[in-house]
Structure 1
Amino acid sequence: MKKLIALIFVALLLLGFAWVNNNWIVATEYSVQSEKVPDAFAGKRIVQVSDLHNAEFGDQQQSLLDKVEAANPDVIFITGDLIDSDRYDLERSLAAVDGLVEMSEVYYVIGNHEVSSNRLDDEIVPALEERGVEVLRNRSVMWEQDGEAIQIAGIDDPLMDIYLHEEEFTRNSIAEAGLNDAFTLLLAHRPEQLETYASEGIDVVFAGHAHGGQIRFPGLGGLIAPGQGWFPSMTEGVFESGDTQLVLSRGLGNSGFPLRVFNLPEVVVVTLENE
């Protein structure tokens, strides 16, 4: 009887551990500094939502929406994989979008799962645009404030053209976006192309895709990430190459392996600062 009680206790502990690791959303805050940030944008807060993979965080995504709202966003970036191509449930993900667009302007770029779902143009993009989301597909827009402006750009995922090397696809996509000399925030799903973004003179990149390494070892980092393989070097945080900074979200949901371990779902909150 004692052994049975002990086994039940251990099972409950493991279930609780798994639940927390996959449902307890944290907000991770970073500051991005650049002398190119106009005065009107100093202190502006950007909330990044990435890799939802149609996971569910409370009824109608309320837990996720509460976390984003608490961050007081001036703008919201969704950096791809809003849905999961293997467990496609657009309506569940749109419940989050419906709440996000009530808080601020929302900008979105596609990830590889939107591409592989084969529902990008006929379902996903129309549903987002219908809700007022600014879908950035190799294009840029200006964010204006008090007579000053910065540039928000977004590029497609390289899976859109399997015959091009990812670096070439990324360069072509940035060129197509028609960037000017303004301070530029780029939404791009894949962090592995940091050197390409830097060579193209991008100021700040917002990326996801890596899922925080899926299983994290305290003090060591992630175990595996799409596009990087085993023991990836880029799983979370802010990375630099030259004058380019890349903000990498651990994301929210899962794909393939169904569990996160020591890898809480997160929304990222970035405050712009000028030096």
Structure 2
Amino acid sequence: MKKWLVGLIVIAIALYIGNNAIKTTNITVESAKIPTVFDGLKIVQISDLHDATFGENQEKLAKKVRNAAPDLIFLTGDLIDSNRYDLENSLDVVRQIISLAPVYYVTGNHEIATNDVDHIKASLVSLGVIVLSNEETTIEKDGEQLRIIGIEDPLNGVPVGEALSKFDELDAYTLVLSHRPETFQDYVDHGMDLVFSGHAHGGQFRFPGLGGLVAPGQGLFPKYTAGVYEESDTKMIVSRGLGNSVIPVRVFNTPEIVVVTLKAT
């Protein structure tokens, strides 16, 4: 067999594995604002599934979430893809994880682009998901609270900064689900503690020393693509996500779920 053909086969196998495997990325977030009763609380973030399929009926993805043993699960948008809309395919994983922990959801741009967003939200609510559309809720334990805010994707016509302005700064440690990382300064300006975001697909093609190549809303060589970003008292976690949309393949950018463990200091 010719060397060039062997090389093509190796590249094809590497790309297949790199687009169909799922990595679990573990992040610990420390803060003196986190009540000690929530020390060790574990959050699994699922972002940008884009109607991708991982195993029969999404069992491979569901197993990854089960193995993480979450206390909370955050779905941070683009659960579906507006270009190949298949809601049932993405709901398959929700049905399997809803019993593991409370599940919270915010829209991404693709849900709104379908013009079927009310149906999507209603379908999730019927499964027991807590849908937050520029809304907040709290979880309580032993008299202490964590605050959870969900920001609707700005494709609905309300900019992120404007949506955040309705929420007063409180002493309670605040977790924010918001699809867009490029609006990081808005989260900082409004004093949000910990933001869970996606949208950037890890920059789609990742290169050592350079990071991601391109991301929606940020263009070439985007600033916010993966991992933790911090300014003042605000931290933002950007998931590389799971699926693809307009660009159908990832390079050096394995799909991931993010597992965040809170640590009271």
Instruction: Check if 1:222 corresponds to 2:212.
Output: yes
Equivalent residue number for residue 81 of structure 2: 84
**Within 1, Cα distance between the matches of 2:55 and 2:211?**
28
Q: Secondary structure at the match of 2:230?
A: strand
Q: Deviations over 1:181-224 (max 9, x none)?
A: 31100000001111111110101000000000001112321110
1:55-70 matches, cutoff 5 A? 55-70=52-67
1:64-213 matches, cutoff 5 A? 64-121=61-118, 123-161=119-157, 169-177=159-167, 180-213=170-203
Q: Deviations over 1:26-47 (max 9, x none)?
A: 0001111111000110100000
The structural deviation recorded for 1:136 is 0.4
Equivalent residue number for residue 21 of structure 1: 18
Q: Deviations over 1:28-85 (max 9, x none)?
A: 0111111100011010000000000010000011111111111110000000000000
List alignment gaps of at least 5 residues for structure 2: none
The structural deviation recorded for 1:7 is 5.0
Q: Deviations over 1:122-157 (max 9, x none)?
A: x20110000000000011111112221110110111
Question: Which range is displaced more, 216-225 or 247-256?
Answer: 216-225
The structural deviation recorded for 1:263 is 0.1
The structural deviation recorded for 1:11 is 3.5
Structure-2-length-normalised TM-score: 0.96
The structural deviation recorded for 1:274 is 1.4
Is contact 2:169-2:191 (8 Å) kept? no
**Within 2, Cα distance between the matches of 1:67 and 1:99?**
11
**Within 2, Cα distance between the matches of 1:98 and 1:218?**
37
Runs of 4+ residues over 4 Å off in structure 1? none
List alignment gaps of at least 5 residues for structure 1: none
**Within 2, Cα distance between the matches of 1:92 and 1:181?**
40
Equivalent residue number for residue 256 of structure 1: 246
Equivalent residue number for residue 232 of structure 1: 222
Question: Which range is displaced more, 82-91 or 215-224?
Answer: 215-224
Is contact 2:182-2:217 (8 Å) kept? yes
Cα distance change on mapping 1:46 and 1:206 into 2, 3 Å? same
Question: Which range is displaced more, 170-179 or 232-241?
Answer: 170-179
Q: Secondary structure at the match of 1:192?
A: coil
Structure-1-length-normalised TM-score: 0.93
